[in-house]
Amino acid sequence: MSQTESQDGVIAFLSSPVAFGAGKDPVKIVETHISVVFLCQDRVLKLKRAVTFPYLDFSTPEKRKIACEAEVRINSRTAPTIYKGVVAVTREADGTLAVGGNGAPIDWLVDMNRFDEDTLFDRLAQDGGLERPMIEDLADSIAKFHQSAEIRKDAGGAKGTGLIIENNGQCFAGSAEGILDQGDTEKLARLSKQMLDANAGLLDKRRDDGRVRHCHGDLHLRNICLIDGRPTLFDGIEFNEEFANIDVLYDLAFLIMDLEHRGLSDLANIVFNRYLDITGEGSAVAGGLRVMALFLSMRAAIRSHVDLAQAKALSDSDKARARAKESGDYLKMALDFLKPSSPKLIAVGGLSGSGKSRMARVLAPHVARAPGARILRTDSIRKRLAGVPLTSRLGAEGYTPEMTERTYRAMMDEVVETLAAGGTAIADAVFAQPEERVSIAEIAANAGVPFVGLWLEAPPGVMAKRVTERQRNVSDADVGVLEKQLTYDLGPMEWQRIDSSGPKEETVKAGLAAVGA
């Protein structure tokens, strides 16, 4: 890093309420290595530091202006109500400074509306305020953003992925001594290169198929907030296109890794499955499951060497030790993501309202390495095949025998792909027909993986009450559908039966025991 000019005068001016036209309201200041953010009343002003790094150049006011304009343009894609525009710091005729005055510009600022910082997702995570509906909405927002983002076939692929892995190795080399185990950093570099080589063709195909896009680039919990009750992505990378023109799953991987690091594996699995349900990234055509572990490992590796650099630079010994520990924790995560997995197939069946989907969701984080099992739910697949949002209701055309057959076939195909990619699959469907239960078990046998079949059941009145009262559910089943299901001849039931009519804790305990988790 090099500092190219002094901005002390500008920083001192912006640190005063006078810059905001405020009275005595204090200015809150947040500093990073590349910017200083000033918050006062309902306004936020962000100053780019006059610094240069190998990956950015903010050395002149003109370059900082271009970076400010890029930040507003890029982040207006996802947070248009936060980013207002670019404003100058001006030198007035009397020598004083002003924000957007009549004098000559001497520096430039990103001008933003202030939001409630208590809605930042990292704070919500710390306070236990992140819940499933909020996380599902977040996954929906990310999927929508990715699907509309600019396709970049000049980036990503095996080459782009390899450059990130190479850079990670260089950041660890020679700098980890006394903090990290050199053997672990070398092992990570070796395993990452092996997985890269094994998936080079797929990574290039994903690029050629339009799955490398102009993404957010820095998609962790601290860069997500609530605006009008909706998850909103902000502070995307503007200073280096190489960091943002990436595979959409590499973009998503930062969020999943961040949730895992915070011990929120259940929420990480929800993001993972919800995103794949919407986008179809888990299909054999997309091949996303085959590269997800590498992307997660790469994200953890970056966090590890960033914390490593901070640990070596901090003068406060307590803070340095804390950063060193974080660096080691992230390194362990990076290695764990690349460990060989032990795939298995779990099928969860039952009539509507039996609790099968809840059981699948609870089991998923516990039966496979992070980010957990891929849940293949017929209700979700049917909506994706119909081209409608997961929460939209389908009419009769969505439940014709032909559509139902297509849905089950797609589920089976994704189960096969998940197992072939080394993942664990949970098939979530009614499975009322004996032949359906036989077919799903045969997939496990053909793949040579263990199989567990669970059949959830409850009294009809309990199931009817659940169907009537549930909200935000992907399933369209109502009491009429349940009444029809109750007439089915289930045939011999060889799967393990679980009575789900009691307390949720007991049902979950029975399910975990049945799958050996």
Quote the pLDDT of residue 311.
86
CB-count burial class (<10 Å; 0-12, 13-18, 19+) for 297: buried
Span 337-346, mean pLDDT? 95
Residue 299 to residue 161: CA distance in whole angstroms: 11
User: What is the pLDDT at residue 262?
Assistant: 97
* pLDDT (mean) for 156-179: 88
Which pLDDT does position 4 carry in this prediction? Answer: 66
Q: Which CATH architecture fits 2-114? A: 2-Layer Sandwich (3.30)
Residue bearing tokens 């095949």 = 385
Q: Is 42 exposed, middle or buried (0-12, 13-18, 19+ CB in 10 A)?
A: exposed
Q: Which of 298, 173, 192, 168 is nearest to 246 (CA)?
A: 298
CATH 3.90.1200.10 placement within the chain: 121-337
pLDDT at residue 1 tops 60: no
Q: Is the dihedral of CA 26, 31, 36, 39 positive or negative?
A: negative
Return the percentage of the chain with pLDDT > 90, whole number: 85
SS percent in the chain: helix, strand, coil, step 5 = 50, 15, 35
CB atoms within 10 A of CB 26: 11
**Cα separation of 234 and 502, whole Å?**
43
* CA distances, 40 to each of 23, 26, 43, 83, 187 (Å): 10, 7, 6, 15, 48
Residue 179 — pLDDT band, cuts 50, 70, 90?
Answer: confident
Q: Which residues contact 479 (CB under 8 A, 6 or more apart)?
A: 464, 467, 468
Residues 20-70 have pLDDT tens digits of 987 778 999 998 888 999 999 999 999 999 999 888 899 999 999 999 999
C-alpha closest to that of 95 among 14, 13, 4, 36? 13
The reported pTM is 0.93
User: For 112-161, what is each residue's pLDDT tens digit?
Assistant: 999 999 999 999 999 999 999 999 999 999 999 999 999 999 999 999 99
Answer for the pair 302, 337: CB distance below 8 angstroms, yes or no: no
Confidence of residue 6 (pLDDT cuts 50, 70, 90): confident
DSSP symbol at 368: S
- b/e sequence 352-378, b meaning 16+ C-beta within 10 Å: bbbbbbbbbbbbbbbbbbbbbbbbbbb
Q: Examine residue 105 and say whether the peptide bond preceding it is cis (omega within 30 degrees of 0).
A: no
In sequence order, which residues have a C-beta less than 8 Å from that of residue 486 and are 6 or more positions away?
Answer: 351, 460
Could you tell me the strand order of the sheet in which 425-428 lies?
A: 374-377, 425-428, 345-349, 451-457, 496-499
For helices 132-148 and 248-261, give the axis angle rounded to 10 degrees.
Answer: 160
Average pLDDT over residues 177-195: 92
Any idea which residue has 């009008």 for tokens? 228
Q: Are 327 and 313 in contact (CB under 8 A)?
A: no
Rounded to whole angstroms, the Cα distance separating 38 from 369 reads: 41
* CATH architecture of the region 121-337: Alpha-Beta Complex (3.90)
- Average pLDDT of the chain, as a whole number: 94
Q: Are 34 and 56 in contact (CB under 8 A)?
A: yes
Q: How many residues does the chain have?
A: 517
All CATH 3.30.200 domain ranges in the chain, comma separated: 2-114
C-alpha span between 360 and 344 (Å, rounded): 14
The CATH number for 345-514, chosen from 3.40.50.800, 3.40.50.300, 1.10.3720.10, 3.30.230.10, is: 3.40.50.300
Domain with CATH 3.40.50.300 in the chain: 345-514
Give the confidence band of 2 by pLDDT, cuts at 50, 70, 90: low
Q: pLDDT digit string (tens) for 212-271?
A: 999 999 999 999 999 999 999 999 999 888 999 999 999 999 999 999 999 999 999 999
pLDDT value, residue 5:
72
Q: Are 38 and 109 within 8 A, CB to CB?
A: no
Distances (CA, A) of 270 to 31, 130, 256, 517: 33, 12, 9, 18
pLDDT at 288 over 60: yes
**Phi, psi at residue 177, to the nearest 5°?**
-55, 130
Cα 354 from Cα 165, distance rounded (Å) = 46
List the strands of the sheet with 83-91, edge to edge: 28-31, 35-40, 43-48, 104-113, 83-91, 97-99
Per-residue pLDDT at 71 exceeds 70? yes
